[in-house]
Structure 1
Amino acid sequence: MFLQPLLAKKIIAEVKKMYEREVIIVNTDGLIMASTNDERVGRFHEGALICAKEKRNVIITKEDEKKLKGVKAGLNLPVFSDRDVIAVFGLTGEPAEIQPYGELLRKMTELFIKESWHLEQSQWRERMLESFMIDWLQLKEWSPGFLEKALLLGIDLASPRQMILIQGYEWSRYEIEQMTHIWKSAYPSDLFIRWGNERILINHEVPKHEQRDRLLRQILLICSFAHTANSRYAAAGAGRAVASSSLTDSYEQAEKALAVSLKRKTPIFEEDLKLDMCLTEISPGTRNEFPQRVFREALQRLELMNTIRTFFHHDLSLKQTAEDMHIHINTLRYRLSKAEQLTGLRFDRTEDIVTMYVALYFLDQDTK
């Protein structure tokens, strides 16, 4: 492992917040990568080179300033990764005074580097997984390179798979990590992938005796966490279990289920879709035009549209609708009569009821 200059500069920036004296970070060739004194960056430091080669602390005295190139009186300490020196940490000042600070700052630097390395490895795996998933969904035949990646990532291509899409908001890294932990505590072999800014893709490895209730509980846990973390609803759609080679089918099903979940505000399994299965296939142009044809002038009357929407929400119950809207039942009857006049449709005819329901479905779906 090598310490990159960018990371060295970040470490120096953190050290400056807690230590006032001059500090440098030097690579194993003796070149200063970062310093609280910008003028020293890029210069050779002979004391640090000795420190790196001999893997020991090197005290620099005033006399050494005359003999060693590029040094100042102080202390040089090797920075380790496992047993290898990856950099040298240098402080100026009287060695006896700065020794305690030196050891503390060296340890802090090693921890900072270790955390950064783990983060880098994690991000590398995330990028690999995302790239692999794109290939998995797009390739018609699995190439040798694809199979090699699967082996490298430890992915079993023989197991049935089920795609799940979750959509919420722009997730933070912390939220992704927490949700990954929640999910993998139940399904450790699943692939949990950030899929754009607002989506999560779960490639679920279906066990031999899958329990749908258990899977639903995990989906609800993720949605509940998202709501608790950001007070915003997260929708979830699940496709059907398919062979690994037919993953695209399950993904497309998950997309359809997700579209319905966004409307109903509850997780949806594609296999449960009935009327929605047909409605999601309608072209965007028709979806946009149909409500205009059905509701006509009523579309411009927000109170009237809200009344119609609430009436359908309560399964055409006059009593429940009036109670929900806090209006007299005669007021409700008047509004519904007005809606019938403006639309030319009636609430006591099955065909007209279905027509208005479908128009409302398109209207609410396409204004989200």
Structure 2
Amino acid sequence: MYFLDGQLAKQIVNRTMKIIGHNINVMNKYGVIMGSGEPHRIGEVHEGALLAISQQRTVEISRASEDTLQGVKAGINLPLHYKGDIIGVIGITGEPTELGHYGELLKMTAEIIVEQANFIEQAQWQSRQKEELIIELIKADGPFSAHQRSWASQLNIDLEAPRVAAIIQVQTDEEETSANSMLKQILHLLENPSRGNLVAMTSMTELVILKPAFLDGKAWDAELESERIDQLIARLPDELRSRLKISLGHFFPQPQQINRSYQTALETLAIGQQMQPSQSKYLYEDYSLLVLLSALKDNWRGQELMAPYQSLIDADKNGQLTKTLTTYLQHFGDLQQCASALFIHRNTLRYRLDKIEAITGSNLQQLDGLLQLYLGQVLLE
């Protein structure tokens, strides 16, 4: 059952009074005036409307009989219907004999306004529900709940469809309303055509997109998805493109792991902006090791991993030894190539490596010692 409220009644009055030069009243299903060209009458009970509702017919009131009913002036009162139910009454003030040709026209106009308002309200409700579901999916962990499945079914969303998360962020030093306006432009582009994207605003400056993972209908292809992101960026105005950051998370084959995809997109965005601030697009595949290790940084295990490399940084005042280690790692322990890259003698390189081992307590001739220094460097830098 749909109910008339004051805002919609006012809208009907304003729009229909432009059609004719007579006062219009809109009453709810209880006969209370909700909107009127004579605002002082709002809130009064209109007995003519009560008659129209109870008898389910048009009620005409002449000037001669207007004093016999409470809150009534001469005019025509027509029941308003929505999906077969009477939801209120529209009244036209004036002599009924002069208003007959207006009645059905205004009734039809008012009912169209009600239908439009209900359609917009339902669309807005569905959009809010979809956003809330998306946000719940990216925050939840584990199998989908019965509630989530029912919720998705009502919104015609297939939770079993393979998806991958992407994040779009607008960089701004101005008011957030500016960024929000830009995000709405992007949202429009993503939904026209939608290509099955599920999109939600997670903040005034950020969108999350749960994208269908199989663009070719068969398998996940990160390169193909990267090309699709390039196409989106190309559709954007120059001003917006220069302030946009997009990250694409990792694809997990289990649909209920979409929250993990979102987490990898978040971490890819953070790491990508730190390492390549001038870029607009960041892909998980380009930063996968850093993303996987990022959770260790503030963990005691991460602290232990970083300890040997941290001791090297503390002891290496001019940065010579850390540069030597970086080059050594880049050349996979090949002494000759490393020495050549550093423009030093091989014996000098051996001396520096011995100092690194003494400071860090790591054996560079063993994989676990070398690996710990490499991971410590990754985590710290």
TM-score with structure 1 setting the length: 0.64
Shift of 1:25: 0.5
Which amino acid in 2 is paired with 1:160? P
Matched to 1:92, the amino acid is T
Structure 1 residues 245 and 277: alpha-carbon distance in aligned structure 2, compared to 1, 3 A threshold:
closer
Q: Tell me whether 1:114 sits opposite 2:121 in the alignment.
A: no
Aligned partner of residue 8 in structure 2, secondary structure: helix
1:67-101, Cα deviation, whole Å (9 max, x unpaired): 33322111222222232221211111233444444
Distance of aligned partners of 1:110 and 1:349 in 2 relative to their CA distance in 1, 3 Å threshold:
farther
Letter in 1 for 2:211: H
Distance in 1 between the 2:104 and 2:243 partners? 48
Asked whether the equivalents of residues 223 and 233 of structure 1 are also in contact (C-alpha less than 8 Å), the reply is no
Decide which of 245, 254, 258 is 1:247's aligned counterpart. Answer: 258
- SS where residue 203 of structure 1 aligns? strand
Q: What are the Cα deviations for residues 213-268 of structure 1, in whole angstroms up to 9, with x where unaligned?
A: 65445434544454279686433211121122322221122224444379335333
Specify which of 162, 166, 169 is matched with residue 168 of structure 2.
Answer: 166
| Paired amino acid for 2:155 | L
Pair 1:105–1:254, CA change in 2 (3 A): farther
Pair 1:83–1:199, CA change in 2 (3 A): same
Residue deviations 1:293-327, cap 9 Å, x none?
A: xxxxxxxxxxxxxxxxxxxxxxxxxxxxxxxxxxx
Aligned amino acid, residue 200 of structure 1? L
Q: Output the amino acid matched with 2:212.
A: E
Deviation at 1:349, TM superposition (A): 8.4
User: 2:134 is aligned with what amino acid?
Assistant: M
In 2, are the aligned partners of 1:182 and 1:222 still within 8 Å (CA)? no
Structure of higher CA gyration radius: 2
- Once the two structures are superposed, residues 124-155 of structure 1 have per-residue CA deviations (whole angstroms, 9 ceiling, x without a partner) of 22222232233323333444333332333333
Change (3 A) 1:71 1:349: farther
Q: Compute the displacement of 1:26 (Å).
A: 0.5
The residue aligned with 2:206 is 199
Other structure's SS at 1:163 match: strand
What is residue 21 of structure 1 aligned with on the other side? 22
Q: 1:37 to 1:112 in 2, by over 3 A?
A: same
What count of residue pairs does the alignment treat as equivalent?
283
Q: What is the correspondence of 1:54-133 to structure 2 with a 5 Å cutoff?
A: 54-133=55-134
Gap runs ≥5 in structure 1 = 284-347, 351-368
1:235 paired residue number: 245
Kindly provide the amino acid, as one letter, of the partner of residue 52 in structure 1.
Answer: I
Change (3 A) 1:268 1:148: same
SS of residue in 2 equivalent to 1:171: helix
Please tell me whether the aligned partners of residues 2 and 86 of structure 1 are also in contact (alpha carbons under 8 angstroms).
yes
Residues 134 and 198, structure 2, Cα contact 8 Å, conserved in 1? no
Q: Which runs of structure 2 are paired with 1:30-45 in the superposition (5 Å)?
A: 30-45=31-46
Change beyond 3 A, Cα 1:174–1:138: closer
Deviates more, 1:61-70 or 1:170-179: 170-179
SS in structure 2 of the partner of residue 62 of structure 1: coil
Correspondence 1:1-368 to 2 at 5 A: 1-15=2-16, 19-141=20-142, 142-168=144-170, 169-171=179-181, 175=185, 178-184=188-194, 187-188=195-196, 190-207=197-214, 208-210=218-220, 212=222, 215-216=225-226, 218-227=228-237, 233-242=243-252, 243-259=254-270, 260=272, 263-273=277-287
Q: Deviations over 1:97-134 (max 9, x none)?
A: 44444444433322322222122222222222232233
CA separation of 1:15 and 1:194: change in aligned 2, threshold 3 A: farther
- What displacement does 1:31 show? 1.4
* In 1, Cα distance between equivalents of 2:50 and 2:39: 20
- The answer on whether the counterparts of 1:171 and 1:198 sit within 8 Å (CA) in structure 2 is no
Please provide the CA RMSD for this pair: 3.6
Q: In 2, Cα distance between the equivalents of 1:267 and 1:70?
A: 66
SS of the residue aligned with 2:4?
Answer: coil
Any conservation in 2 of the 1:160–1:206 contact (CA below 8 Å)?
Answer: yes
Task: Provide the rounded CA distance (Å) in 1 between the counterparts of 2:269 and 2:90.
Answer: 53
In structure 2, relative to structure 1, the CA distance for the partners of 1:62 and 1:150 (3 Å cut) is same
Q: What percent identity do the matched residue pairs reach?
A: 28
